[in-house]
């Protein structure tokens, strides 16, 4: 079964079959429904429509017809319909997904509590660890300003569709120390401005570096020289070019989350937001330009550069640079030294 469900096509076909089977059973009277069920997505004739199934009837619900491709986004639309249109006072969501919890906290604080929703619960865990989290109480433990940027914080630091860049503790700390102002508009409308990208990079750089650093290139320089990771480039943070692509992907995800309660939204092209097509699949673009100039030699690993035939910098008749392992400003034997800038 696990192998069967690993195919996206198989899952869609299974959903189509189940919806068709259930509708036929109810409308033919072989199955009774005491509580109405809303079925959205995966209808054979229209992937975007939604039907309300009750006793021997299946009726279209036009207000729930939407273009959302993700089940999580469609679920948020249904909760919004239940609270704002059907005026439900209590909603229970069964989902162990952190992305869903973040969205529920955000939309409860921004919209649903003002529409009369009094209780919002999330069922998570399994067997003995199964529990219900009161979202309506969790919201009260956080400032409204922090809740208003939760989707941005979660998408930027790492979620189901974006890479992990920092720990949640670090980004929440950065947010509480003035970072909220940097990302307050991130993902809330369809325009990702250059200024918004700069502020998002600044937010992440400060979350990781813990100092007043504005770009990831500056952060790489700081970590290399002050965190004892010389010549171990795998431990360095991404370049500014790479993190800007990550920020675009985070923006796209955040835009879908914050606007998921709307049936119709402007569709953004993922190819403009850090993705490329590979074998008809969307995959993240990691870098769009080289991390270093093509003519810039790799820093040497010599201690003192005394051997002219062993030091790559001396062999190339160039000076050592500040990224070399040797002490270029002190006891370095390279006669060509006039510190080479990276």
Instruction: Tally helices (H) and strands (E) across the chain.
Output: 13, 8
pLDDT at 193 over 80: yes
Mean pLDDT of 224-238: 71
Provide the pLDDT for residue 336: 82
- pLDDT score at 233: 67
- Summarised one tens digit per residue, pLDDT across range 302-324 is 888 888 788 888 888 888 887 78
DSSP of 220-265, one letter per residue?
A: HHHHHHHTT-TT-GGGSPPPHHHHHHHHHHHHHHHHHHHTTTSS--
The pLDDT of residue 323: 76
First to last CA, the chain: 54
Residue 54 to residue 59: CA distance in whole angstroms: 9
**Can you give the pLDDT at residue 123?**
93
pLDDT of 223: 83
Residue in this structure with the two tokens 């004892």, named with its chain if needed: 228
Radius of gyration, alpha carbons of the chain: 26
- Locate the DSSP E strands across the chain: 37-40, 50-54, 57-60, 90-94, 119-124, 131-134, 275-278, 281-284
Q: What is the three-class DSSP state of 327?
A: coil
Q: Who's near 109: CB < 8 A, 6+ residues apart? A: 139, 144, 147, 148
Give the integer Cα–Cα distance in Å for 119 and 69.
27
Comparing CA positions, the residue from 207, 216, 138 lying closest to residue 173 is: 207
pLDDT of residue 299: 79
CB-based contact 148:106 (threshold 8 Å): yes
pLDDT band at 329 (very low <50, low <70, confident <90, very high): low
Query: For the segment 263-297, what is each residue's pLDDT rounded down to a tens digit?
Result: 888 889 999 999 999 988 899 998 877 766 777 77
pLDDT at position 231 over 60 = no
Q: Per-residue pLDDT for 237 more than 50?
A: yes
pLDDT at 341: 46
Decide if pLDDT at 335 tops 80. Answer: yes
* C-alpha span between 218 and 172 (Å, rounded): 22
Contact by Cβ (8 Å): 103, 72: yes
161-191 pLDDT, tens digit each: 999 998 999 999 999 988 999 999 999 999 9
Rounded-to-integer distance, Cα 207 and Cα 167, Å: 9
């Amino acid at each position: 079964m696990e192998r069967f469900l690993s195919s996206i096509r198989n899952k869609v076909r299974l959903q189509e079959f189940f919806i068709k089977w259930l509708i036929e059973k109810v409308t033919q009277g072989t199955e009774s429904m005491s509580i109405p069920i809303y079925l959205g997505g995966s209808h054979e004739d229209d992937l975007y429509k939604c039907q309300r199934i009750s006793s021997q009837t299946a009726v279209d619900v036009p207000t729930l017809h939407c273009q959302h491709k993700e089940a999580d986004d469609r679920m948020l639309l249904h909760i919004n319909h239940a609270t704002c249109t059907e005026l439900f006072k209590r909603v229970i969501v069964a989902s162990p997904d952190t992305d869903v919890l973040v969205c529920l906290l955000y939309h409860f604080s921004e919209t649903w509590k003002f529409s009369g929703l009094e209780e919002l619960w999330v069922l998570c865990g399994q067997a003995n660890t199964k529990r219900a989290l009161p979202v309506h109480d969790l919201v009260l433990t956080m400032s409204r300003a922090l809740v208003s940027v939760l989707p941005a914080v979660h998408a930027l630091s790492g979620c189901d569709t974006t890479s992990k860049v920092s720990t949640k503790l670090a980004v929440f700390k950065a947010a509480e120390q003035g970072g909220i102002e940097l990302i307050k508009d991130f993902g809330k409308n369809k325009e990702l401005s250059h200024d918004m990208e700069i502020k998002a990079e600044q937010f992440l750089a400060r979350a990781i570096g813990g100092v007043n650093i504005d770009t990831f290139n500056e952060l790489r320089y700081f970590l290399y020289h002050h965190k004892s990771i010389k010549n171990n480039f795998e431990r360095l943070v991404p370049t500014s070019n790479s993190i800007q692509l990550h920020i675009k992907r985070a923006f796209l995800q955040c835009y879908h989350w914050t606007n998921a309660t709307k049936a119709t939204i402007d569709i953004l092209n993922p190819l403009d937001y850090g993705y490329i097509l590979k074998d008809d699949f969307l995959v993240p673009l990691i870098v769009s330009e080289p991390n270093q100039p093509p003519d810039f030699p790799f820093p040497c690993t010599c201690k003192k550069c005394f051997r002219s035939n062993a030091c790559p910098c001396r062999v190339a008749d160039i000076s050592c640079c500040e990224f070399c392992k040797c002490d270029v400003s002190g006891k370095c034997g390279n006669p060509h030294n006039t510190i080479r800038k990276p």
